[in-house]
């Protein structure tokens, strides 16, 4: 494994992190509604679960889903229903003012883990990415470097975005547009959940 493989891997990860989806919507909303600290914990949870998918792909556990399609179908349905649940909850609370009590960091972290856990396609994406980018016969040291690299990219990029979004101006803009933005986020998450539920 050479540095060029890690560069290609990191560029692909960057594109995936920046693409609109449940993970980005989750940490953006947490940051704008609850502030920098909560946003950082959300990113830590999202990144940790994303890396767990990469670890399972490196261990070959994606083959289990291929071998037992029913297990994948159950996991996918549960993830889709969770995203739809989050979407409904966000839609209903769109007009509610922000609570005075901040979201506990542990809850923001767990929410991030659950959002990325809700998409079992992540393991198939990770497996495909690893096969396409890295040469066969990776050593244990190579795999450790890939995992640590992935974790750092997830946390640094997500943390950087949280810092950009946690300014007073960004938060005030969110508060003014909260009903509309929350309903847009709920609609996107709901559609993603339905797409996951209905896709093969």
Domain ranges for the chain: 3-198
Express as a percent the part of the chain with pLDDT over 90. Answer: 18
Q: What is the mean pLDDT of the chain?
A: 81
Look at residue 125 and tell me whether its pLDDT is greater than 90: no
pLDDT in tens, 12-26: 878 777 776 778 888
Assess whether pLDDT exceeds 60 at residue 99: no
- Say if residue 183's pLDDT is above 80: yes
More confident residue, 85 or 41: 41
Please determine, for residue 63, whether its predicted confidence score (pLDDT) is greater than 80: no
Taking a C-beta distance cutoff of 8 angstroms, is the pair 86, 51 a contact? no
Residue 153: predicted pLDDT: 92
Task: Give the 3-state DSSP-derived string for the chain, with helices as H, strands as E and coil as C.
Answer: CCHHHHHHHHHHHHHHHHCCCHHHHHHHHHHHHHCHHHHHHHHHHHHHHHHHHHHHHHCCCHHHHHHCHHHHHHHHHHHHHHHHHHHHHHHHCCCCCCCCCCCCHHHHHHHHHHHHHCCCHHHHHHHHHHHHHCCCCCCHHHHHHHHHHHHHHHHHHHHHHHHHHCCHHHHHHHHHHHHHHHHHHHHHHHHHHHHHHHCC
Checking if the pLDDT of 51 tops 80, the result is yes
Comparison of pLDDT for 39 and 181, the residue scoring more: 39
For the residues 105-125, what does the mean pLDDT come to? 83
pLDDT of residue 98: 59
Q: How far is CA 48 from the centre of its chain?
A: 9
Give the predicted TM-score (pTM) of the model.
0.74
């Amino acid at each position: 494994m050479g540095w060029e493989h890690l560069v290609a891997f990191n560029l692909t990860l960057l594109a995936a992190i920046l693409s609109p989806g449940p993970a980005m919507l989750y940490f953006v909303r947490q940051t704008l509604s609850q502030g920098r600290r909560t946003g950082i914990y959300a990113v830590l949870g999202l990144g940790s679960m994303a890396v767990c998918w990469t670890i399972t792909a490196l261990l070959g556990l994606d083959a289990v889903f291929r071998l037992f399609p029913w297990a994948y179908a159950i996991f996918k349905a549960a993830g889709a229903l969770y995203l739809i649940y989050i979407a409904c909850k966000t839609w209903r609370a769109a007009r509610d003012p922000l609570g005075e009590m901040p979201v506990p960091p542990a809850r923001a972290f767990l929410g991030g883990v659950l959002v990325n856990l809700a998409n079992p396609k992540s393991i198939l994406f990770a497996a495909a990415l690893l096969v396409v980018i890295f040469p066969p016969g990776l050593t244990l040291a190579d795999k450790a470097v890939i995992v640590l690299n992935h974790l750092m990219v997830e946390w640094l990029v997500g943390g950087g975005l949280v810092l950009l979004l946690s300014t007073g101006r960004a938060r005030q803009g969110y508060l003014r547009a909260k009903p509309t933005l929350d309903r847009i986020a709920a609609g996107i998450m709901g559609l993603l959940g339905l797409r996951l539920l209905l896709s093969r």
